[in-house]
Structure 1
Amino acid sequence: MARCDTPGTGPDGPVRRVVVLGASGFIGRQVSAAVRAAGGEPLLVARRPLADATSRCIPLDLIGGGPDALSRLLDTERPAAVVNAAGAVWSRTQETMQQANHTLVETALAAIAAASWRPRLVHLGSVFEYAPPPPGTPLDERAPTRPTTPYGRSKLEGTQAVLAASEAGRADAVVLRLSNVIGAGTSPSSLLGQVAAQLRAAEAGQEAVVRVSPLRASRDFVDVRDTADAVLAAAALPVGGRVINIGRGEAVPVRAMVDRLIEASGRPTRIVEGAGAGVRTNTGLDWMQVATGTARRLLGWSARHSLDSSARELWRATATQTSPPASPSPAQH
């Protein structure tokens, strides 16, 4: 496993060892890779062992197993940070979302409170915790939290638990509310994941037919590599007790992202839009743009990767992707 004495990204000192919850998922894998790239040591926590793990993996069931095992791990390993990249996306059942997005968070908080070693907790929330904004109004951290979907409500309950623990002194924690995260490893159940699957399914040299529900929404997309950079900054900098929105800061038509993915594939394609024609990401937000001033001010962070690059990485990764990640990420829409 990777190990170095001088990784890190902040004035509080280097982030040497990081426990990544949900390490088998889309964002968890990228966070783990970013920790290794920075010279740190990720400890991968997932429900099942990872066959392709390049770092130490600790199988833990945080929903069914309680907090004791994680608390012992924290005291033994003394990590600088715990990143909660676990969670269930909008396409899962309400019970699954409640357990993964709230119950698991409460278990992690109980483990941190019981441990003698106190790491920074970086909790990955979602901008879908907010009330739908009027078109043209960027979402900042002062926006009201009135989610309109079961996914958003379950994510908000997890965030509220983290903020309450931080305020009570039971955890040193920061919440990153992520916009629509895309890139290599994007969930096959998401809109872009399903478009990629339809493109891959086309016979060589034949026109691909991509069937989708009407592409009317505009969303704020952010590359998973940029997201991981924000996580590392939040793990190292003195931003405990804060909510910080993470996005590119622009509303991009979903149709434009589908077009980018088609261009990355290089395949002749016909898009068929219609009710029931394909996946529908019913998130309650048809227009969304994230205000990024807080992330720039507190984390020194802004998105660096272009959406064209994100689309290319997404397409490249689908060549070997055969099944959804075992632990879905917080924001794959």
Structure 2
Amino acid sequence: MKRAFITGISGFVGRHLRDELICEGWDVLGFDIRPAGENVFVGDLSDRAALTRAVVDCQPDAVFHLAGIIKSTDPKAYYTSNLFGTLNLLDAVLQMEKRPKIVLASSSAVYGLTKSARPITERSPLRPVTEYAVSKVAQETAALRYHYAFGLDLVIVRMFNLLGPGQSPDLACSAFARQIALAEISEQNEIVTGNLDAKRDFVDVRDAARAFALLAEKSEAGQIYNVCSGNAVSIQQCLGEMMSQSKKQLSARVDPARVQKNDVPVQVGSFQKLNKATGWNPRIPINESLTDLLNDWRERVRRGDPPSESKIS
């Protein structure tokens, strides 16, 4: 049986990837800052010794590196986790006699302000505009150095905008779904938003998990792969779809404080390279993703669950 080691296993992508790998017959272990059941080592990426022990003890055939910070008020935290945490993991892998495949999660944020409406390929220039995006560029660069310098069998996955059950409300569509779910059980009738004009390439997290699993077995070392749908959809359309599914009449109000500076107007990717390598295509349509996200928030609100944290991918 093949063995997988997932950092950030209790996070949004991590939980879905764990389920995907188990369905494919993998033995799955993980590393997370939070306790997450059996077969999960608890620790922080900054704890080099603990991370090394976990990786060496696990002896995985594949390492999926999902852990990292996506939102923080401290700019240095992005580099501590996303860059130096990744270096700690790669150094841990170097201690292994039989080195595993490494599938490293990056983000379409590295492309930043694109100057063309054409789909972004892996060869498109990088123009990061946020601290998070810069930290991911640094992470990618460091990881590729380990591939070229030490021969690590490593690939990078640039995920575009994910959707699906279990998502943190720090991201727009999930924030809308949470507000709608709360409004349905209260007297609230207004959904507060940021910029609704931006267009994004949305892909279901379950499709993304399937891409990670495929890349562990069907990818070329040192390569970068986009995971996306190839379609640009406005934030307004996403909000409208979920509001149309609401059990009560709702209205939307743009809060200027929620409009991000340097917001990228349009971003759409190409997954041709991923398709050629693995045969992957997105299967879950966006309306289904939005419905599942909204229903998930209805259940979370019913249970009184706190909002998901955003520190782990």
Same fold by TM-score greater than 0.5: yes
The answer to whether the aligner puts 1:293 opposite 2:279 as a matched pair is no
- Structure 2, unaligned runs of 5 or more: none
How many pairs align? 308
3-state secondary structure, aligned to 1:33:
helix
3-state secondary structure, aligned to 1:168:
helix
Q: Is the 8 A contact 2:71 2:311 kept in 1?
A: no
Per mean C-alpha deviation after superposition, the further-off stretch among 24-33 and 199-208 is 199-208
3-state secondary structure, aligned to 1:236:
coil
What is the rounded CA distance, in whole Å, between the counterparts of 1:133 and 1:326 in structure 2?
26
What is the rounded CA distance, in whole Å, between the counterparts of 1:197 and 1:99 in structure 2?
30
Structure 2 counterpart of 1:262 = 243
What is the rounded CA distance, in whole Å, between the counterparts of 1:109 and 1:233 in structure 2?
21
What is the rounded CA distance, in whole Å, between the counterparts of 1:144 and 1:21 in structure 2?
28
What is the rounded CA distance, in whole Å, between the counterparts of 2:57 and 2:175 in structure 1?
42
Query: What's the CA shift string for 1:201-230, capped at 9, x where partnerless?
Result: 225485621011231100001100000000
Structure 2 counterpart of 1:235 = 216
Query: In percent, how many aligned pairs have the same letter?
Result: 26
Structure 2 counterpart of 1:119 = 100
| 31 and 297 in structure 1: CA distance in 2 versus 1, 3 angstrom threshold | same
| 2:44 paired residue among 58, 61, 72 | 61
What is the rounded CA distance, in whole Å, between the counterparts of 1:281 and 1:297 in structure 2?
35
Structure 2 counterpart of 1:13 = none
What is the rounded CA distance, in whole Å, between the counterparts of 1:43 and 1:261 in structure 2?
35
| 2:61 paired residue among 75, 80, 105 | 80
RMSD over aligned CA atoms reads: 1.9
Give the TM-score taking structure 2 as reference length: 0.92
The answer to whether the aligner puts 1:178 opposite 2:141 as a matched pair is no
Q: Is the 8 A contact 1:125 1:176 kept in 2?
A: yes
Structure 2 counterpart of 1:312 = 291
What is the rounded CA distance, in whole Å, between the counterparts of 2:310 and 2:268 in structure 1?
29
Give the TM-score taking structure 1 as reference length: 0.87
| 1:194 paired residue among 150, 175, 186 | 175
What is the rounded CA distance, in whole Å, between the counterparts of 1:312 and 1:218 in structure 2?
19
What is the rounded CA distance, in whole Å, between the counterparts of 1:124 and 1:101 in structure 2?
10
What is the rounded CA distance, in whole Å, between the counterparts of 1:39 and 1:280 in structure 2?
44
Q: Is the 8 A contact 1:188 1:194 kept in 2?
A: yes
What is the rounded CA distance, in whole Å, between the counterparts of 1:284 and 1:242 in structure 2?
28
3-state secondary structure, aligned to 2:256:
coil
The answer to whether the aligner puts 1:22 opposite 2:39 as a matched pair is no
- Structure 1, unaligned runs of 5 or more: 6-15
| 98 and 280 in structure 1: CA distance in 2 versus 1, 3 angstrom threshold | farther
Q: Is the 8 A contact 2:184 2:246 kept in 1?
A: no
| 235 and 175 in structure 1: CA distance in 2 versus 1, 3 angstrom threshold | same
Shift of residue 45, structure 1, vs aligned partner: 0.9
Shift of residue 166, structure 1, vs aligned partner: 0.8
Q: Is the 8 A contact 2:71 2:310 kept in 1?
A: no
| 264 and 121 in structure 1: CA distance in 2 versus 1, 3 angstrom threshold | farther
Query: What's the CA shift string for 1:71-124, capped at 9, x where partnerless?
Result: 333333221111011111145531222222111111111111122230111000
